[in-house]
Structure 1
């Protein structure tokens, strides 16, 4: 069991460290609202990791195999959410003042930051695919459902470590000063990044929905 956990955890950590919606959510919170909001976003992402572990342990992989359109629906929902975040960032960049990513302002409450992290990871179809692969590997290694559930807290702790490091980095004084100086450009960059990810997911979902 420990060997299977270590192998799987290594892959999960590498996936967490790679750029993606989770990292962008943490970075935007760190630059915009400061360390507390960034860390609460990390907590939301970590909570989502445990939810994915439970879902996989109790049949997500089987459900996706029977109902592949469920993944299509997740792509559409996740893409729409990321496009909404992109629109907010691009509009604030255009206005140049009422920023959705405000430099250490009070734009996001702790609960709102936690919900953003949770929604980003739960509506991310890449997370669904990753956790389906995780479940397949762990079950293939002979683990029981409860042992797959137990892997969830390990993935959540690794998320706290990886994304927490990003939270401290992007909420540092240097990052905050850089943001204040280049706020509109940074907002635009986040908007374009979220828009590219969201647009790709939404487009893939629509294409799959129209496919025979």
Structure 2
């Protein structure tokens, strides 16, 4: 079981380190409000990971295996959402003043509001849904019980704390703030490209499955 956990954890960490709505939430708060609110966003994200691990342990993986069309729908919806975020970021790159998912957060958050921001971003993040669905399918496929699948959740939460905590520190430094002020449009362009590739790949994968 340990080797299965390690292999799965490596995949989870790779997914967490990649650009996504979780990173956007942490970066937007860190840029505007500093390290403490950004770290509370991170704790909210980690808490949401525990909820996803519980959901998978209660049978999400088994549901996807029993009804493959639900995974197809999730891919199409998740890919469409990522493409929507990519378009918003691209608009901000091409036109000053456009609304963007990655602009510094204007509204000041209390600690509780920052935690809830991270928590709900994670729960409504299609990338997280796809990741935990894949984790569940893999762990259940290896013969693990529901309790063992749930026990993997804290590992994912710990790596989330470490990875997104590092992002919170980075985006709350003066260097990051000044760098964003000087090259914000380039920053938006990088995120637009990343989300565009991720979203397009999910939609393409879903369409190919639909044609089979």
**What TM bracket, shorter-length normalisation?**
0.7 to 0.9
1:3-42 deviations in whole A, cap 9, x for unaligned?
4686367435643554243664356435654445643543
Structure 1: stretches of 5+ with no match in the other structure: none
Aligned residue number for residue 130 of structure 1:
135
Q: Are 1:159 and 2:164 an aligned pair?
A: no
Specify whether residues 93 and 77 from structure 1 end up closer, same or farther in structure 2 by C-alpha distance, changes over 3 A only.
same
In 1, Cα distance between equivalents of 2:66 and 2:75:
17
Specify whether residues 115 and 33 from structure 1 end up closer, same or farther in structure 2 by C-alpha distance, changes over 3 A only.
farther
Specify whether residues 83 and 31 from structure 1 end up closer, same or farther in structure 2 by C-alpha distance, changes over 3 A only.
farther
1:113-147 deviations in whole A, cap 9, x for unaligned?
542233225654244213322344471xxxx4334
Q: TM-score, normalised by structure 2?
A: 0.77
| 8 Å contact kept, 2:73–2:206 | yes
In 2, Cα distance between equivalents of 1:91 and 1:62:
40
| 8 Å contact kept, 2:75–2:205 | yes
Specify whether residues 42 and 145 from structure 1 end up closer, same or farther in structure 2 by C-alpha distance, changes over 3 A only.
same
In 2, Cα distance between equivalents of 1:205 and 1:33:
37
Specify whether residues 11 and 136 from structure 1 end up closer, same or farther in structure 2 by C-alpha distance, changes over 3 A only.
farther
3-state SS, counterpart of residue 105 of structure 1: coil
In 2, Cα distance between equivalents of 1:48 and 1:69:
25
Q: TM-score, normalised by structure 1?
A: 0.77
1:183-203 deviations in whole A, cap 9, x for unaligned?
111112111211111121122
Q: Which of 113, 116, 119 lines up with 2:121 in the alignment?
A: 116
Length, aligned pairs only: 206
Specify whether residues 65 and 113 from structure 1 end up closer, same or farther in structure 2 by C-alpha distance, changes over 3 A only.
closer
Aligned residue number for residue 80 of structure 2:
80
Structure 2: stretches of 5+ with no match in the other structure: none
| 8 Å contact kept, 1:53–1:148 | yes
* Mapping 1:36-185, distance limit 5 Å: 38-100=38-100, 101-103=102-104, 105-106=106-107, 110=114, 111-120=116-125, 124-137=129-142, 139=144, 144-185=145-186
Specify whether residues 123 and 10 from structure 1 end up closer, same or farther in structure 2 by C-alpha distance, changes over 3 A only.
closer
3-state SS, counterpart of residue 136 of structure 2: helix
Specify whether residues 131 and 97 from structure 1 end up closer, same or farther in structure 2 by C-alpha distance, changes over 3 A only.
same
Aligned-residue offset at 1:182: 0.3
Specify whether residues 127 and 150 from structure 1 end up closer, same or farther in structure 2 by C-alpha distance, changes over 3 A only.
closer
Q: Are 1:202 and 2:207 an aligned pair?
A: no
| 8 Å contact kept, 2:25–2:41 | yes
